[in-house]
Structure 1
């Protein structure tokens, strides 16, 4: 059982999964698996610029020296030890059961934060009780004038579940010229740097562990919207993301997870009207994507889509049972981002 409504802070480390602590208003939680090099590079900025928060490393049973490195060099950082490598979804679900705080900041281990990155987020949560989830501006660590693929200036999906962002549509990434410096409501926030009220996270039962990794944050945001929670983008908080540090963009495993999980997300969240027709069209579009990969000579990626579909069919019945009682009909911003991008040359976000 989680402790509630306690207003004091305890400043010692979590040493096992049976101990629960009450902390500051916000907890920065970094999920790690064999990522000591990333912790060496990026944890210092988090520690330097996060005085408002308690900082955690949630470790997915690493076999490298991640834990000993953190303990030796950053005693202020608390550690939650998961018992296995549970991926992004279950890894966070398990770890967050043991962190009692008002706000979670879920931060990838390859994120460099900037000075005052937390204040605008905390202020928004305080002023807007209806806002449940917030994403900062995410720029490319390797090319800091450009947005980063995973999230950019806030995420959206089309009618068939294809995700895209302000500042990034498929592989077209925009330079940050201040064109997205407006705070606005979005469809989903990137898991690379994901702020959420803890009560909402637990109300939604966290990420879907069946996803393992990729698109679980989009599913969580969609479920939040189905319960009338708002999701915002705040440009006054800026972070830099390496992207692909744990699984490269061109990896067939990533293709498998993205295609499978996108289909699972549709089954859980599509409104019942036109449910099967929308799903059928999406499956057909996946087939076209497979042909596109073949024409590019990327046979492993085509095979990854096929495997994703077989895995999806195997999980269909289980996933269908997870559907909520209410499904929002206004879940998409663009009807078909694929046609808009490849046929209508829609390379830049248009609301």
Structure 2
């Protein structure tokens, strides 16, 4: 595991570390939000770590944001992953506090000042976790039907194609090419024009079949669900009345099988997420620590590359006698899995490998071998080479072979 420097020269109160790999498409939304940050009583810098991108990210950043946010660009020359990239960023930083922030985000104007003041008020806190909301707000669709309404999964929102996402659906059959919706079905649809838009909205559905009298509803508004193309139109006043935010992460946890999870995932941002509470582990998409605590804990273990590295670090922060706390008024908008697609081969490999690394390092040998055998069996049963490789590579790494990495099959 990387040894971290303990020699400090603090030129700023806070260093915001951003790790980028081919994330040029996220730069404008992120940096436009960083420029609007409120910071009357503290100073901050932005350390942008580029992991050898090939999409022109660094050139674009220099052309458009070179003189903004006290920008410090670090080019690693290789893809060091989330763990290695953040270690490089922290090493190049000069803030008393460090904040790790995903590049596929946009932050609220008070995001950083609320996080900073939270840490000031809670000296027992070794890691503060922001509230992560999905990037767009949503409206809720429901159905009135005597049986079921069958929809095409592809809809159009203000003329733009959108595939309804299963994680934003409740109580329906999510089939390969269609949605089977019932009277208790709920679908959250994103308002893709953005948070500041004053646009009216038109939602176009293709109804494959529906009993007579069926309706697609949004609160008090509705449209007849007849076979063919159906339009639901909402003016801006209705959009403002009906819109809501969904939680992506209100802190992280580990279940009894050591699977990591996001607290509040896909729940409405409600009163229970307006107060602070203690966490088992933090989410690396937006966390603040004292630079000294980050170094004392041993920095990120770069063998993880990405996924579970924040859990591993969290457990080591707690071993310092510090708490991990949720900061509810530090708000970040996050494009979930912006850097890698959920359950892609890359994602699968690292999740299966790194769960076992985390268990092997922090729990026990007995637990490690239990889940090693379970995971390898699943890899065979599912005929998934990435599950098998990830499982086996965890053993190689724990036995001291660090030249182990993802390979496309």
- C-alpha contact (below 8 Å) 2:38/2:113 kept by paired residues: no
Matching residue within 243, 246, 266 for 1:146: 246
State how 1:232-247 maps to structure 2 within 5 Å: 232-247=325-340
Aligned length in residues: 285
Which structure has greater helix proportion? 1
Give matches, 1:1-351, under 5 Å.
4=8, 22-49=10-37, 51=39, 52-74=43-65, 75-76=67-68, 77-143=71-137, 145-148=245-248, 152-168=249-265, 173-270=266-363, 275-287=364-376, 289-290=378-379, 294=382, 299=383, 302-318=384-400
What is the deviation of 1:40?
2.3
Conserved 8 A contact 1:189-1:231? yes
User: Partners in 2 of 1:93 and 1:87 — Cα distance?
Assistant: 10
Q: Deviation of residue 3 (structure 1)?
A: 5.2
Residues 166 and 180 in structure 1, CA contact (< 8 A), matched pair in contact too? no
Do 1:155 and 1:164's aligned partners in 2 also have CA atoms closer than 8 Å?
A: yes
- Deviation, 1:284, is 4.3
Structure 2 stretches lacking a partner, 5+ long: 139-244, 402-409
Task: Tell me which protein shows more strand as a share of its residues.
Answer: 2
Counterparts of 2:90 and 2:124 in 1: how far apart (Å)?
Answer: 22
CA contact (8 A) 1:29 1:106 kept: yes
Which has the greater radius of gyration?
2
Offset of residue 34 of structure 1: 2.1
Question: What is the distance in 1 between the residues matched to 2:325 and 2:317?
Answer: 12
Separation of aligned partners in 2, 1:3 and 1:267: 31
In the alignment, structure 1 segments of 5+ residues that lack a partner are 7-21, 320-351
Who is 2:227 aligned against? none
Q: CA deviation at 1:61?
A: 2.3
Asked whether the equivalents of residues 375 and 388 of structure 2 are also in contact (C-alpha less than 8 Å), the reply is no
CA distance in 1, matches of 2:96, 2:378: 42
Which sits farther off after the overlay, 49-58 or 84-93?
Answer: 49-58
Question: Contact 1:105–1:193 at 8 Å: present in 2 too?
Answer: yes
Q: What is the CA–CA distance in structure 1 between the aligned matches of 2:98 and 2:275, rounded to whole Å?
A: 23
Whether contact under 8 Å (1:2, 1:98) holds in the other structure is no
TM-score, structure 1 as length reference: 0.76
Question: How far does residue 96 in structure 1 lie from its aligned partner after superposition?
Answer: 1.4
Residues 277 and 26 from structure 1, CA distance in 2 versus in 1: closer, same or farther, beyond 3 angstroms? Answer: same
The SS at the match of 1:200 is: helix
TM-score scaled to structure 2, two decimals? 0.65
Q: Deviations over 1:100-153 (max 9, x none)?
A: 2111111111111012111221112112222111111111113461111xxx11
Runs of 4+ residues deviating >6 angstroms:
none
Partner secondary structure for residue 396 of structure 2: helix
Q: Deviations over 1:284-311 (max 9, x none)?
A: 443565478x3xxxx4xx3211111110
Task: Tell me which moved more, 185-194 or 73-82.
Answer: 73-82
